[in-house]
Amino acid sequence: MARSQNISKTGRRGFLKGAAVGAAALVAKPPLVAQTQQAQRGVVPQPSAVQAARETTPPPHVDVYTTDRPGSDFMADVVKSLGFEYVAANPGSSFRGLHESLINYGGNKDPELLTCLHEESSVAMAHGYAKIEGKPMLIMAHGTVGLQHASMAIYNAYADRVPVYVLLGNIQDETWRRSDVEWAHSVQDAASMVRDYTKWDDAPVSLAHFAESAVRAYKIAMTPPMEPVVIVADAVLQEEPVPEADRGKLRVPKLSLSTPPAGDSAAIAEAARMLVAAENPLILAGRAARTPAGLKSLVELAEMLQAPVQDRRFRMNFPTRHALYGGGNIADADVILALEVPDLWNATNSMTPVNKFGMESRRLTKPGSKLIHIFAGDLYAKSNYQDFGRYAEVDLSIAADAEASLPELIEASKKLITADRKRAFADRGAKLAEAARKVRERDLEQASYGFDASPISTARVSAELWNQLKGEDWSLVSDVTFFSYWPLRLWDFNKYYHYIGGHGAYGIGYQAPASVGAALANRKHGRISVNIQCDGDINYAPGVLWTAAHHKIPLLTVMHNNRAYHQELMYVQDMANRAQRGIDRAKIGTAISDPNIDYATMAKAYGMYSAGPISDPKDLGPAIKAALQVVKRGEPALIDVITQPR
Amino acid sequence: MRIISFLVIAAAFLLASVAFPQAPAPAAGDAAKGKDLFLKDGCYECHGYAGQGSKDGARIGPPVLNAQGLIRYVRRPAGAMPAFTEKVVTDAQLTDIYAYLKSIPAPKAVKDIPLLDQLK
C-alpha cells in the first residue's frame, strides 16, 4: 500500500508539472497535437490540407494480401457441379489455387483429393475407376511436366475408350511468371502434347469461359466413344480474386449428357434378318458392354439366337460359365456380329508369325460369310496414333454405340423368329453347350499340369484365389493376358464388375494404379478387389502402393513375379533364333533378377500389409487367407508370389 | 503383343505327331543336362518350367512325341514357335531335353485335386 501511495504522490506532482509545461507548449504546438487535444476536449478536429489530400487521392499502389473469393473457388463450384467423387493429383504449383479451393472451400469432398506420387498413377487410377463406376475421375496436373508424366496413361485410356478428365495448370500470361521454374512449367498450348489422343480440349481465358468449357468437356467425354478430355485452368484465373463486376453474374451452366448414338433402324433390321437366318452365327464382343445393361442385353441376344459369344476380353461382356461363352469358330461362321471390336481385322485374319520371315495374311472367315460391325469408333477417329488397327472389310457397317443398339436389335430379331428357327436354334444350342462342357474339362485337365510346381503355376495361383473368393462379392481389377487367362478359364464371371479388361494401348505401368482406382470405386459397394500384378508393371511407379495405403483402399494384390519383362524376353528369344545365335542370352536387358526385387518389403515400405516371397504352392492358401482378412478390414495387402512365366 | 490360342498350339503339336512318324528312339539322353538346357535355351519361357504349357506354348511335359518327333518339330515348328536349328541346339542336346521332359511325372487326376475338383 505504501508503494502505491508513493507512486500516487509522484504521479500528482508529475501531472501538475506536466500541465504547466503543456500549457506553455500549447501556444506553438503542431496541428495534429492541437487536433488531438481538441478531440480529447470533445471538439471534432478539422483535417489538415495534407490529411485531406491523403484521404481523397487514390494511392499509387495498394498492397492487397487477401481475398474472400479467389477465382479458383468458382472453378471448384464448377468442378463440384459435375459430380466428381475424387480428384487425383500429384501436387503442382500451377494448380495450387484450385488445390487449395478444393480442400478448403470445397471441404475436400466430392471431390476428395487423392495424393498420388506420379501423374501416370493419377490418370491410370482414373482409368480403372471409370471402368467400374461408369463415370470419370478428375485429375489435376502441371500443364508441362505433369502432363508429360501422365501422357502414356492418357493414351491407354484413349485406346481403351474410357473417359478421364484432366485439368492442367498453366501461366499463360508471361508477365505473371515469377521464376525460372514458372517459365519452365508454362506452355503456349498445354494440350497439344496429348491432342492426338484426347477427344477435346480448351484453354479458357475467363472464369465464365472456364465454366462453359468445363461442362462441355464432361459432356463430350461421356458421349460414346468415350475418351479423355483436357481443360487448362490458368493459374492467374485461379489465384486472382473474382472480378467485382463478375461476382453477381458468374454461373455454372447445366450439364445435359447426350444419349448414346444407337444404330440406324434400317441397318439394325437388316442385321437382325441376317442373324436370324444364319446357320452358324457368331458374336465377337470387344468393348460391347459399357455398363451392366450391356452385359444383360448381350446375354439376351445370344440366348435368343443361341449364338456363341467369343469375348475379346476388353470388358466383362459375357458370363464365362455360360454355355454360349467362347464357343463357335470364326472359320465356320456364316454370319459374324462384331460389337465394338477395335481389332476386328486381327480377329478375322491371320498373319505370318514372328518366327518366320516375310509377311502374308490370310482371311480366317469362310467364303460367303457375312460380317456385321456395330462400332462407335466409326463416328470418331484420329489418325496419328494407330490404335485403330487395320481396315476391316465388313458387309454391314453400323456406326453406333453397340450397347445402345442392342435393345433394338433384340426386338427386331424377336419379330423374325419362327417356330422352325427356334427349333434350329435349340439344336445349335445343345451342341454348343456340349462343346463348352468339353472345353471346361480340358481347361481343368490342363490346369492340373505343373499344379504343384515351383515356381508356382498361374493355374495354381488362380485356383487358390478362387477357393477363397468364391463365397465373396469380388472384383478382378486386373488384366489376365499374361496369366494365360486362368482366372477367366476357371472362375465364374457373371457380374459386370467381375472384370474390367486391360490397358487399352498396352502401355505397361497401367496395372498397379488402375487396380487401385478400380478398387476405390468398388470400396463403397463392399467388394473385394483382386489385382494379379505383373512385376514389370509395378516398377514403373510403385508409389501407388502408398496411395492405396494412405487412402485405405482395400485391394488384394497378388504378384505375378516371374522376374522378367517376359513378353520382351520371348521376343528377343525369337530374334536370337532367327539369327541362330545367342539363344541363351535373351535375358540380357529383359530379366528382373540379380538381385531379385523383394515386393513384400517394397509394400511394407509403403505402409501396406504384405507377405512373401512365396515359392511353395502349399504356402499360398494360408497367405491368401491372412491377406484377405486385412482387405476385409478395409486396407490393401500384397502377396509376393514367385510364378511361372505365363 | 502375341496372343496364341492354346488350342491352336496343341493342335499343331498333335498334327506334328501325325506328320512326323514315330521313328525308333535314339540313345537315351541325360535328364539332368536336359533340364539345364531347357532353362538355358529358354524353352521354359513359353512351355513353363515343368513343361506344363501356357497361352504361348504347348504342353510338352510329359511329351506326346518321341525324341525324334520332338527334334523334327523343333527344327521346323508350326505356329509361332521359333525354329531352333542345329547351330543353336544339337540333336544330342534335344535328346537330353527330351529325357528331362520324359522324367516329368504325369499330374494327378482332376478329381484328386480338391482345388480343381470343386470347379467342375
Model pLDDT, residue A64: 86
Closest CA to A168 of A126, A211, A212, A119: A119
Assigned C-alpha cell, A421: 428357327
CATH of domain A71-246: 3.40.50.970
Contact A533, A507 (CB under 8 A): no
The Cα A202–Cα A196 span in angstroms is 14
Strands A335-339 and A281-285: parallel
Instruction: Enumerate chain A positions whose Cβ falls within 8 A of a Cβ in B.
Output: 353-355, 440, 444-451, 453, 455, 457-460, 463-464, 466-467, 481, 484-485, 490, 506, 566-567, 569-571, 573-574, 576-578, 580-581, 583-584, 586, 644-646
The Cα A316–Cα A493 span in angstroms is 8
How deeply is B62 buried, as exposed, middle or buried, from its count of CB atoms within 10 A (0-12, 13-18, 19+)? middle
Question: For chain A, what are the domain ranges?
Answer: 2-56, 71-246, 265-437, 449-641
The neighbour count for residue B105, using CB atoms within 10 Å, is 9
Model pLDDT, residue A61: 78
What count of residues does chain A have? 646
Model pLDDT, residue A418: 98
Strands A165-170 and A229-234: parallel
The Cα A238–Cα B95 span in angstroms is 73
From chain B, pick out residues whose CB is under 8 angstroms from the CB of A646. Answer: 46, 48, 54-57
> Backbone phi, then psi, for A473, in 5-degree steps?
-95, 95
The Cα A312–Cα A326 span in angstroms is 9
For residue B19, what are the contacts with CB-CB under 8 A and spacing of at least 6?
Answer: none
Residue A476: its H or E element: strand A474-476
The Cα A432–Cα A318 span in angstroms is 15
The neighbour count for residue A188, using CB atoms within 10 Å, is 9
Closest CA to A288 of A75, A3, A499: A499
Model pLDDT, residue A37: 59
The Cα A126–Cα A228 span in angstroms is 10
Model pLDDT, residue A52: 85
CATH of domain A265-437: 3.40.50.1220
Contact A510, A536 (CB under 8 A): no
Q: Where are the alpha helices (DSSP H) in B20-105?
A: 31-40, 43-47, 67-75, 91-103
What is the CB-side half-sphere exposure of residue A424 using CA atoms within 13 A? 14
Domains A71-246 and A265-437 share a fold: yes
Question: For chain B, what are the domain ranges?
Answer: 6-117
pTM of the model: 0.90
Decide if A567 and B48 are in contact by the 8 Å CB cutoff: no
Topology (CATH) of B6-117: Cytochrome Bc1 Complex; Chain D, domain 2 (1.10.760)
Assigned C-alpha cell, A141: 496436373
> Residue with C-alpha cell 464448377?
A78
From chain A, pick out residues whose CB is under 8 angstroms from the CB of B2. Answer: 353-354, 567, 570-571
Residue A600: its H or E element: helix A599-605
Model pLDDT, residue A60: 72
Decide if A451 and B108 are in contact by the 8 Å CB cutoff: yes
For residue A254, what are the contacts with CB-CB under 8 A and spacing of at least 6?
Answer: A215
For A353-385, write each residue's pLDDT tens digit: 998 999 999 999 999 999 999 999 999 999 999
Model pLDDT, residue A38: 56
Q: How high is the mean pLDDT in each 10-residue block of chain A (646 residues)?
A: 38 43 45 56 81 78 89 98 98 98 98 98 98 98 97 98 98 96 97 98 98 98 98 98 94 98 98 98 98 98 98 97 97 98 97 93 97 97 96 98 98 98 98 98 98 98 98 97 98 98 96 98 98 98 98 98 97 96 96 98 98 98 98 98 98
DSSP character at residue A238: H
pLDDT score of B115 more than 60: yes
Contact B34, A512 (CB under 8 A): no
Substitution target from A349, A585, A644 for chain B, most B beta carbons within 10 A: A644
Strands A281-285 and A309-311: parallel
Topology (CATH) of A449-641: Rossmann fold (3.40.50)
Decide if B46 and A455 are in contact by the 8 Å CB cutoff: no
Percentage above 90 pLDDT, chain B? 75
Model pLDDT, residue A41: 62
Amino acid at A91: P
